[in-house]
Structure 1
């Protein structure tokens, strides 16, 4: 019997499985430039890490006084992002190794993301992760995005798993908060390591303060096995 029997694993996508933030930044920069905001920087982008695309463009509309509707801004950014996502998304090597390791043990897995369903599908197909991660939930499919627990609870429902038996991997504070609200354990791998002291991460079962540089597939697997006992 697998050492991980009874556990289901739910992955956040952006910043956790894949380094998609550069693509989100570039899509956002292009979108805002097209709507008259030419000086959007990486530091500006960091304010929106872990927040859904719809929430991001809603904030932009208010902050920058944009004339376009939220729906128009959302469609524009998604179109630009998908063009980048299909061809230029990098999977973190140890995350790929972890997914493959879990697959060999038959661990049920899902992706629950603030990205659109189209973006999730494009990234998983473009990186080959769709061979392992067939259950996905987008924030567009639930009432509330992170830090509400909705995407994680829906992922558990689709896996047929009890929330208490699920472990979430997350890179952002809102996602860690969502995992806690869902009654799930969390492995936190902060994308912005300067935010490792955020109170939302303090409740994680395993906090890797060094982010992806500290994460290894074997160590994560062994932690899951120990925590199961």
Structure 2
């Protein structure tokens, strides 16, 4: 791999860490204050919003469930619940940790570009120890548009001093894969939800691991990057 020219940009939730259960619980707690139950908003419903920013998801859910509250208040509540859950426990996918450590040792520039709030990103990285390797962070809060717009990835490339065509994105959700494509970046896709593997957004990925994390190994990913 040409470490002087290749940069790697990671999505966070569902790609580096298995944080979606925490996001589901945080969202449910927020909606629960307005009468929405687990029966109303189950895990399956939550999976439809994976890859979409927290603000955008809450806006849709508030409209669907008739929640009459300011979006900023819903967002603050959800972020508060999430931070509490994330600090208690956020599992890192083992092969992803190994991959990050290998890239770091090789001097490959890396960034995290996520639809989560910056405070959530920082809390997860600090709690998992990934902050020792990943210092460049971009939240959807910091750009005009969230995924599937390319803004977070383009900003990450800018902060790394990298050109988009020399960046590789790792993503678990169709909106993120679409954002990588729109940014002009290569994409390694690892569907978090198995049923999304046939989503058209993944069809444009440079490499699709249909089994998601079960198919991912640090060694194979490094070999794939070295082919470029």
Q: Quickly name the TM-score band, shorter chain normalised.
A: over 0.9
Partner SS, residue 9 of structure 2:
strand
Equivalent residues of 1:4, 1:225 under 8 A apart: no
Q: How does 1:190-229 map to 2 (within 5 A)?
A: 190-226=191-227, 228=228
CA distance, structure 2, for counterparts of residue 68 and residue 75 of structure 1: 12
**Alignment deviations for residues 45-97 of structure 1 (CA, whole Å, 9 cap, x no partner):** 11111110000110011101111111111111110000011121000000000
Equivalent residues of 1:85, 1:123 under 8 A apart: yes
Say whether 1:28 aligns with 2:27: yes
Partner SS, residue 25 of structure 1:
helix
CA distance, structure 1, for counterparts of residue 201 and residue 186 of structure 2: 12
**Alignment deviations for residues 172-218 of structure 1 (CA, whole Å, 9 cap, x no partner):** 00000000000000000000111101110011111000000000000
Partner SS, residue 86 of structure 1:
helix
Cα RMSD (Å) of the superposition? 0.8
CA distance, structure 1, for counterparts of residue 109 and residue 221 of structure 2: 16
User: Which runs of 5 or more residues in structure 2 are unaligned?
Assistant: none
Q: How does 1:83-162 map to 2 (within 5 A)?
A: 83-162=84-163
Partner SS, residue 44 of structure 1:
helix
Aligned length: 226
Q: How does 1:21-60 map to 2 (within 5 A)?
A: 21-38=20-37, 39=39, 40-60=41-61
Q: TM-score, normalised by structure 2?
A: 0.97
User: Which runs of 5 or more residues in structure 1 are unaligned?
Assistant: none
